[in-house]
Structure 1
Amino acid sequence: MASDGKWLWKTTSLEQSYTTYNISYQLTLASREPLLEDHLRQALIHLSRKVPLLRLCYAQREGEWWLREMAQEIIDFEMIPDVTIKDAHQKCLAYQYDIKTGPLWFAKLKPVSPSMEGVSDMAGFPHISTVFLGLYHGITDGYSNMKICGYLVQLLEDVIARNPINDEEKLGICVSGERTQQLIEERFAAIKADSEYKEEMMKEYQASQKSCLLASMISEDAGEKEPKTRMLLRNLDPDTSTAFFKRCREEGVSVNSAFTAVGSVAMVDFLVEGGIDQDTYRISSNHVVNARRYWGGDTSDYLGCHALPTNPVTVETPRTVGSNFWNYARKLHREFQKTLDSDKAIHIEAMKQVCRSENPDSGALFKLLQFDFCMTNMGNVTSLVTEGGAHVQATHVLRTTAIHPVPNLWAHFLHSFRGRLINVLAYSTENINDEMAENYCNKVFKHLHEVINIKK
């Protein structure tokens, strides 16, 4: 029974905020021999035993939600030979977890898969399989999930190679969001202690909550009455990826800032096409931040839900950027770095607490659509996922999150793996239809290809 599981910690407000999200990962594997059902099942059993994070579930204690260990081992795994890629992601994103019993994750194997579009087959590894991992966001984040993918690849290699596996040697350290919560509480106390500062911050925060331009041009009947999250995948080939990375370095701009700039310029095109006629546009992007960056020390083994959901960047974007793109990108990059260095994401979480303490009914304030698009960028994840070994190689990984339960029109899930830039545009069908998503995504990558070749 669940009462037999070890109590771990009371959930923080930030951990609770992610309990409306499901996560879907797609891991493409190439193997020397066909990947068997038993191979993956054995690897998943070891994964569950070696990664404490994957044994979490929820329970109430004196009226409050806590995380605790599952009372018994449950491996949720099935073969899906006839399910399409699209439907597999939908199952992951719409899955109803039994949060009190667990597990809060599952795996599905599509044993014979077509090669990923734009990804070359690997010599000597002719058999392509796809693993789908569904995860409950309340216990995990992107960094943790990429680490889990890496653990799975290595365990699968060991299973196939018949290497001994010691389940007592744990992988990753499961930690609560207490450190982040403490930082938020400290900022909250500082704001509350200074009435003039609090009033100034309240005005600034409320001003930032105004609806974005994009929301004003979307008609009420644009989407579906029963919304869900759909996704568009765009892979850059290795040569184009290398050229983009190289140009970013030469221009002194991070890949994240350059891609955000490209997304903002594409958004202007989208707004102009939608009938919003201005000389310049205040394009607002929201960036998810890894809270571990503010903890100090080595956090590489810490797993859990440690993503700060709101780090806004707003820049004036001219109707036509043209050959001035990289100057514009540097301006955006400076603004983004300023938000990181000033702990803006921590500050916003503290302001949410201030608003709640001042007005318990202020929930509607947080439901306003604030951003033209959201960005979650993990950089180069090759070392986290690993490339594999002599029997199985990881050739591609992509990720997406259910965004339709929250006020978010669409979000870029960006990272690179094995030298290739990978982007998933996730969009809520409540407001965005397939044609709109395809149109915007095409504009983004049209501009991306163009800016690589802008003359210096």
Structure 2
Amino acid sequence: MRGDCLWLCEMEEEAIDFQVVEGADPRRVTEDLMNQSFPSHEGPLWRARLVRGAAGEDCPPEEVRASFPHTSHLVLGNHHGIADGTSNVRTYNLLLRILNDVIAGRPIDDQEQLGEMVVQEEFKAMVSAKLRELQKDPENLQRLVEEKEKAMTSVPLLLQCHPSLEGTEVKTKLIFEELDEDTTRRFFHRCKKEGVSVGSAFTALINGATIDLAKRAGRTDETFTLQEVHTLNLRRFLSGDASKHLGIHSTLFAHAVEAPAAWRESFWDYARTLHRSFHTKLKQDGHLLHRCLVQLTKPAYPTSSLSLKLPPPTDDYLSSNMQDLDALLPYAAGEHAQAARVVRGASNFSRFSGYFVHTFRKRLSCSHCFSSHIIAEDTAKALIRTIFDSLRGLV
């Protein structure tokens, strides 16, 4: 960053941060990459590790395992300043295409542009237009700013029950859970029958699991309101074909709706309420409103403050739902190399809990990235266990 402007440039001398690791735990290698900083002034802003011969790790789809008996794990990490989840998945897809072409001996056209780096100018114009609209009603804008400032001082429900750990290493850890194909199909069918999206139902499950842990810690509230933060793919809002846009084209969208303490007894009613609220606010430009309010309330941190203690989290969690990755990974089923599983995640220092959800090869999965210096690993595991046990109980 130079002031408020993001600068991108080519390296004078290309550096490749790639290593082959033998017999390691892929999850530990992933965590290691998530907790390393990047030399942002010199580069590279990405790194890769090929984990071979990992004990206990297997290829989940039986039909793939029969034809491709050798399993390796490619762990790719990058600075979030150069790519979002969609950019990364597109990169994985094109890597598989090139890998299969190389193995097959097909020529590679290195003049073909596989993507285009595009900045957020169109989205910035949308935000500016929304801000001008809000400024026409100063009283309402002031009310919205005050509500946002109040939310910025809130304490996440889990941290009200389980105070932050003191004196532990600042680190992001990862827990991964995956459904089988049949349970995924039945869950999707039930969501459709109940008139809610899979994303809304899964959000309701995250909220319910959080409420359960609060109740176990002694909370007796009849209702709870959790502060959700969802990532949105901006490409869906841009004009023209944005499918090849690389870089950062995502934004955050804050959402909160009251949930009953006895959420299991009325789960689908609660999920429908959440679904209607989320999509109504989205249709009312809630993502633009969120960006405007962030700009109006964001404290001015000097660059030197990045090395200081991070502010405490105020949101209950962040959710990134990329839905069906099969549509974004058409080269996953190559003739010589295939992708059997995709695990997403991100460093999660200030937002202490993040859920990365998608479907791949007809299996719903979730990575829970959590700040182990804020919540204990047992608590994080209990959340994931409650989410998936509850899901299986619904279908």
Indicate conservation of the 8 Å contact 2:100/2:334, yes or no. Answer: yes
Structure 1 residue 92 corresponds to structure 2 residue 92:
no
Residue type at the aligned position of 1:100 = H
Residue by residue, what CA displacement relative to the aligned partner does 1:138-164 show, whole Å, maximum 9, x if unpaired? 010000001111011111111111110
- 1:330 is paired with a residue whose SS is helix
Write 1 or 2 for the structure with the bigger share of strand: 1
1:312–1:89: structure 2 CA closer, same or farther, 3 Å change rule?
Answer: same
Partner of 1:294: 237
1:216–1:123: structure 2 CA closer, same or farther, 3 Å change rule?
Answer: same
Residue type at the aligned position of 1:442 = R
> What stretches of structure 1 move > 6 A for 4+ residues in a row?
none
Structure 1 residue 107 corresponds to structure 2 residue 52:
no
Partner of 2:320: 376
- Equivalent-residue separation in structure 1 for 2:226 and 2:251 (angstroms): 21
Which 5+ residue runs of structure 2 have no aligned equivalent? none
Indicate conservation of the 8 Å contact 1:111/1:128, yes or no. Answer: yes
Indicate conservation of the 8 Å contact 1:188/1:354, yes or no. Answer: no
Residue by residue, what CA displacement relative to the aligned partner does 1:377-417 show, whole Å, maximum 9, x if unpaired? 0000112223232111111111110001x2x2211100010
- Which one of 270, 274, 278 corresponds to residue 336 of structure 1? 278
Partner of 1:152: 95
Deviation at 1:11, TM superposition (A): 7.3
1:326–1:119: structure 2 CA closer, same or farther, 3 Å change rule?
Answer: same
What does residue range 261-276 of structure 1 map to in structure 2 within 5 Å?
A: 261-276=204-219
- Which one of 101, 121, 127 corresponds to residue 178 of structure 1? 121
Indicate conservation of the 8 Å contact 2:156/2:314, yes or no. Answer: yes
Deviation at 1:193, TM superposition (A): 4.7
Partner of 1:71: 12
What does residue range 406-425 of structure 1 map to in structure 2 within 5 Å?
A: 406=350, 408-425=351-368
Deviation at 1:192, TM superposition (A): 3.7
- Equivalent-residue separation in structure 1 for 2:215 and 2:375 (angstroms): 17
Q: CA RMSD in A?
A: 2.4
1:117–1:155: structure 2 CA closer, same or farther, 3 Å change rule?
Answer: closer
TM-score by length of 1: 0.79
What does residue range 117-266 of structure 1 map to in structure 2 within 5 Å?
A: 119-120=61-62, 122-209=65-152, 210-220=154-164, 222=165, 225-266=168-209
Residue type at the aligned position of 2:48 = A
- Equivalent-residue separation in structure 1 for 2:100 and 2:57 (angstroms): 20
Aligned length: 386
Deviation at 1:260, TM superposition (A): 0.4
- Equivalent-residue separation in structure 1 for 2:244 and 2:83 (angstroms): 13
TM-score by length of 2: 0.91
Partner of 2:393: 450
Percent identity, aligned pairs only, is 31
1:287–1:67: structure 2 CA closer, same or farther, 3 Å change rule?
Answer: same
Partner of 1:401: 346
Residue type at the aligned position of 2:263 = V
Deviation at 1:119, TM superposition (A): 4.7
Which 5+ residue runs of structure 1 have no aligned equivalent? 1-9, 14-63
Deviation at 1:98, TM superposition (A): 2.0
1:352–1:196: structure 2 CA closer, same or farther, 3 Å change rule?
Answer: same
Indicate conservation of the 8 Å contact 1:215/1:369, yes or no. Answer: no
Residue by residue, what CA displacement relative to the aligned partner does 1:323-375 show, whole Å, maximum 9, x if unpaired? 4211111111011112221221221221122235xx75799xx9453322221
